[in-house]
Amino acid sequence: MSTATATKVLTDRINRIEVSATMAITAEALKMKAAGIDLADFGAGEPHFSTPQHIKAAAIEAIEKNFTRYTAVAGIPEVRKAIVDRHAADFGTNYAVDECVFTAGGKLAIFNAVEVLVEHGDEVIVPVPYWVSYKDIIEFAGGKPVFVETSEAENFRVTPQMIADAITEKTKAIILNFPSNPSGAVMAKEDLYGIVKLAHERGVYVLLDECYVYLSFNGDLVSGASVAEAKAHVIVLGSLSKTYAMTGWRAGFALGPKQIIGAMSKLQSQSTSNTASMVQHASIAALTASQECVVEMRKDYVKLRDRVLEGFQSIPGLTCTVPEGAFYVYPNISKFIGKSGIKSASDLASKLLTEAHVVTVPGEPFGTTEHVRLSYAVSADVIDKGVARIREYLAKL
Ligand SMILES: Cc1ncc(COP(=O)(O)O)c(C=O)c1O
């Protein structure tokens, strides 16, 4: 029998992390909506489109054909082939099927990659602003996020020199996410390729979070994995969530060196096992059919972005970089901090929610203190209503 006196319930590693900030805001907004409050909701980072019909039909057909059992942990060969073929066609990469694992969402791909690569005390470089989950995922693994500040005046640009300056002998990996959540910034090809080459030379892994890679508005789809000579240090972390309006399906993947993908599959074999079998068939349909639906959705996002930015121009004091991808705007709200007792971006976001009934996400969990994030994957009506409410609320401060 144990004679331990103090009983500790939770582990250190679970106490190192927080509930996802975006999920917390979404939960609060849901409560207000349930109470009948009409919100202009720019909170959730997910497409407002329905999943395209041919993708839904493939899942229904898989169920009807009783494709409802366990599959190979890393996904059936057909879905992994569809992933590597799509990536090859779009970015000229040449991954083999056993260099691909299909995961229950892109977030799990990132989580598992960090778990198999990052040892206690290892450093992982993360440019600011960053997607909310990186910090916690790294800390859960025992790693240390090393934040690299960027300049808003330069559209949050990240250069090879900035990364070179942050590398130490403890650096294990760099996480890059462009188009960016939260800023919508897109990396110049030269900067991206330069960082990938530098990382390879220095023996550092580049985790390419390609969640929004197909939502780049300047017509040029770019992947750091196209730098063939750096393949040994590149891991692509992909997601079907935003590309095909499939957030609820939980479909993501990783592409990378066989040893790392094998380790991620091993971890998956002891946790989630395979992704839902019918989702694998839906994903094959998404990846192999015409990509016209992606083109159409992208066109709509550009129109919605322009509508929000035009609306912002009518709000004195609010400034905003022009996002070149994803579906977020990241306006600078520093002019309003200090007015009428507004203490911080979080404070402003919370007052926008309770007093103006507009859902935004404050900048702090993305690593900046002077912004709020709005997802414009909503209807034009919601944009007009929400922008009008923000304008009215800020004018009163
Ligand atoms: C930058 C980024 N990476 C990864 C993900 C994970 O997406 P999912 O787990 O739905 O594939 C998200 C979702 O919001 C994201 O914004």
Q: What is the pLDDT of residues 105-141, one digit of tens each?
A: 999 999 999 999 999 999 999 999 999 999 999 999 9
Please tell me whether residues 281 and 324 are part of one structural domain. Answer: no
3-state secondary structure of 384: helix
Residue-level pLDDT at 281: 98
Both 125 and 237 in a single domain?
Answer: yes
**Is 327 close to ligand 1, i.e. is its CB under 6 Å away?**
no
Say whether the peptide bond before residue 316 is cis (omega within 30 degrees of 0).
Answer: no
Sequence-ordered strand ranges (E) for the chain: 40-41, 100-103, 123-127, 144-148, 171-176, 205-209, 234-239, 252-255, 328-329, 358-359, 361-362, 372-375
Q: Ligand 1 center to residue 252 CA distance, Å?
A: 9
Does 183 contact ligand 1 (Cβ within 6 A)?
no
CA angle 199, 242, 313 (to 5 degrees): 90
Q: What is the dihedral of CA 151, 155, 156, 158, to 10 degrees?
A: -100
* Structure confidence by residue, pLDDT tens digits, 252-303: 999 999 999 999 999 999 999 999 999 999 999 999 999 999 999 999 999 9
Q: Which residue, 244, 270, 288, sits at the end of a domain?
A: 288
Q: Could you tell me the distance, in angstroms and rounded to a whole number, from the CA of residue 342 to the centre of ligand 1?
A: 30
pLDDT band for position 4 (cuts 50, 70, 90):
low
Last residue of a domain, one of 228, 254, 288: 288
**Among 123, 119, 172, 170, residue whose Cα is nearest residue 146:** 123
Q: From start to end of 140-223, where are the E strands?
A: 144-148, 171-176, 205-209
Q: Is the pTM of the predicted complex or chain greater than 0.85?
A: yes
What's the CA-to-centroid distance between 73 and ligand 1, angstroms? 21
Q: Is 139 in the pocket of ligand 1 (CB under 6 A)?
A: no
**Distance between CA atoms of residues 21 and 181, nearest Å:** 13
Which residue segment(s) compose the domain that 358 sits in?
Answer: 3-50+293-395
Q: Is 10 exposed, middle or buried (0-12, 13-18, 19+ CB in 10 A)?
A: exposed
Residues 197 and 170 in one domain: yes
What is the whole-number distance in angstroms between the Cα of residue 238 and the centre of ligand 1?
A: 9
Task: Write the residue with the smallest CA distance to atom 14 of ligand 1.
Answer: 45
Residue 18 pLDDT grade (very low, low, confident, very high; cuts 50, 70, 90): confident
pLDDT band of 20, cuts 50, 70, 90: confident
